Structure 1
Amino acid sequence: MLFIIPNLVASFKKELFYPLKSDNIIVLFILWKGMVIMMSNYKSFSELKRLARVQLQGKYGTLIGALLIQELLVFFVSGLPAALLPGTDTLSNTLYYIVSFIIQLIAGVLQAGVSFMYLKAACGMEFGIGDIFYCFRHNTNKAIKIQFVLAVINAICMLPSDILTWKYPITSLEAYDEIIMMYSVALLCMLVYVVITLAFTPVFYMMLDFPNYTVKDIFKNSIEVMKGNKMRYFLLDLSFFPLMFVSVFTCGIALLWVIPYMNMTSTNFYLDLMSCRTKQNQADEF
């Protein structure tokens, strides 16, 4: 729409000065609708980040506390499969991946709670550390189903890396070629997963924002909303790389501030998407 409006203006420049005809009315309508769409442009990265910094003022303590609890829980629970199933035989490996898959589902429910907490914070509502456990009490089944889909996609994407690990286990740190190959394949698999799941970035936000949506509706609307915005979100995430890199020199301590900053910016990205979508839908109704 934005690309055809200048041509319309040029084509009908003279006609618009004459008494209104049906064609003129159509042109004016298209121009007006185009202006509405232009007014609903997405916020820039700097605007989203600036808004996040304002929203984070006075809230870092709670968000950092929630982050520490989340990371500690994920860290200890993620270590259970290796501790309970130390063997390398086929049965142990199979059980290991089954248990790991179940843990991913639990971690997804926790992540949904984190999304709930940041939505409340971004909207100026009261929130607390306990909000990260919200989805263990509400919408648990829906959160598990959503995470199940994401976990299956992850399992499929990581399958080549897992097969290599099973067939060619590394028994010595001196096997440099094998280690490089393993990490290269794993990195490629992770990249494929990231590209595929960019379309599903707002699924937990949507689950909380639209409680009447089914899981199918959530994924369908997520794909629709992210159409044309996947690269924007990827670049937004990438823009935090300098802060992540600098955090290395603080032994990761700075991440306690960087991660909430990233999460709040991502939440604002979602809210901005939905706001623009609402404006466009309103324009389409006229």
Structure 2
Amino acid sequence: MQQQGYYYKGNGEIKDNARFQLRGRWGNAILGFLIYVVIIVAVYRVWGEGKIILLLLQGPMLFGLSKFFLQFKRTRENVSYEVLFSGFSKFKDTFLLGVIIQLAVIVGIILLIIPGIVIALMYSQAFPIMVDNPNVSAIEALSMSRRYMKGNLMRLFLLQLSFIGWSLLSILSVGIGFIWLQPYYQLSTINFYDDLVRIRFNDESQGYQF
């Protein structure tokens, strides 16, 4: 796909890049994601579904997960696991961002399933945007995500869809396959985000308006 003289990477290339970035560093990526999952699952098991503690954790932990994989993608060094908890240093914004996205998706799904999917795709870049722009508010991050995803909803949907086969195989492996699949998926979506940033930066440097 072309945007103002610059080309978006195809989803195949995005996934190839993610696999290359994982070479020799699978352990760091897997453990980082497992720490995130263990915390969320532990809170769910101890306090139960729908409790306020899970809602309080969601936004900050998603921010930390985005930051972890952004650093993983952009450097060749192993990323500190402390990064996973960085969202708590700006709790107000990360908490609010998580709540708004969750409520928007729920409302969309209640109306019809498709609007819920569209909303989730539209706001999918809000957390990495907030990582890259620490001074933006939750509302500003959501607005920026909408602009970034303009014309790119189907690209991301197809990228996500391309993991269905691997997900089915992971289910057949009694879930063990997800230990490798999820870091691969997370890093692929981060590569997708960085591709959006690359195109946007190049176009803005040429004076294009959005």
**TM-score, structure 2 length as denominator?**
0.89
Match of 1:231 in 2: 154
Match of 1:66 among 32, 41, 48: 32
1:118 aligns with 2:95: no
Aligned partner of 2:190 in structure 1 is 267
**Amino acid corresponding to residue 270 of structure 1 in structure 2:** Y
Alignment of 1:212 onto 2:158: no
2:167 is the alignment partner of 1:201: no
Residue-pair matches, total: 207
Task: Give deviations 1:49-87, integer Å, cap 9, x for gaps.
Answer: 1111111112111121122222121112123454xxxxx
Change (3 A) 1:158 1:105: farther
Question: Does the aligned pair in 2 maintain the 1:119–1:267 contact within 8 Å?
Answer: yes
Mapping of residues 32-181 of structure 1, within 5 Å? 37-38=4-5, 40-82=6-48, 97=50, 99=51, 101-124=52-75, 126=77, 127-136=79-88, 138-157=89-108
- Measured after TM superposition, the shift of residue 192 of structure 1 is 3.9
Q: Which runs of 5+ in 2 are unaligned?
A: none
SS across alignment from 1:228? coil
1:162-182: CA deviation from partner (whole Å, max 9, x where unpaired): xxxxxxxxxxxxxxxxxxxxx
Check conservation: 2:59, 2:96, Cα contact below 8 A: no
Compared CA separation, residues 142 and 122, structure 1 to 2 (3 A): same
Q: Which residue of 2 aligns with 1:185?
A: none
CA distance in 2, matches of 1:217, 1:271: 18
Which stretch has the larger CA shift, 266-275 or 209-218? 209-218
Contact 1:104/1:151 (CA < 8 Å) preserved in 2? Answer: no
Q: State the SS of the aligned residue for 1:213.
A: coil
CA distance in 1, matches of 2:150, 2:127: 17
What amino acid does structure 2 have at the position aligned with 1:143? T
SS in 1 for 2:107: helix
Of the structure 1 ranges 43-52 and 191-200, higher mean CA displacement relative to structure 2 is found in 191-200
Over the matched positions of the two proteins, sequence identity in percent amounts to 28
Distance 1:41 1:264 in 2: 20
Q: Helix, strand or coil for the counterpart of 2:7?
A: coil
Q: 1:253: which partner in 2?
A: 176
CA distance in 2, matches of 1:155, 1:42: 30
CA deviation vs aligned residue, 1:189-220 (integer Å, no higher than 9, x gap): 5x542222211001010001011222222111
- Report the structure number with the largest CA radius of gyration: 1
Q: 1:58 to 1:220 in 2, by over 3 A?
A: same
Tell me the CA shift for residue 222 of structure 1.
0.7
1:240-273, CA deviations, whole angstroms, 9 ceiling, x for partnerless residues? Answer: 1111111122111111111101110100000000
Whole-angstrom CA distance in 1 between matches of 2:133 and 2:203: 19
The more displaced of 211-220 and 240-249 is 211-220
RMSD: 2.3
SS at structure 2 position matched to 1:43: coil
Paired position in structure 2 for 1:177? none
- Whether contact under 8 Å (1:122, 1:268) holds in the other structure is yes
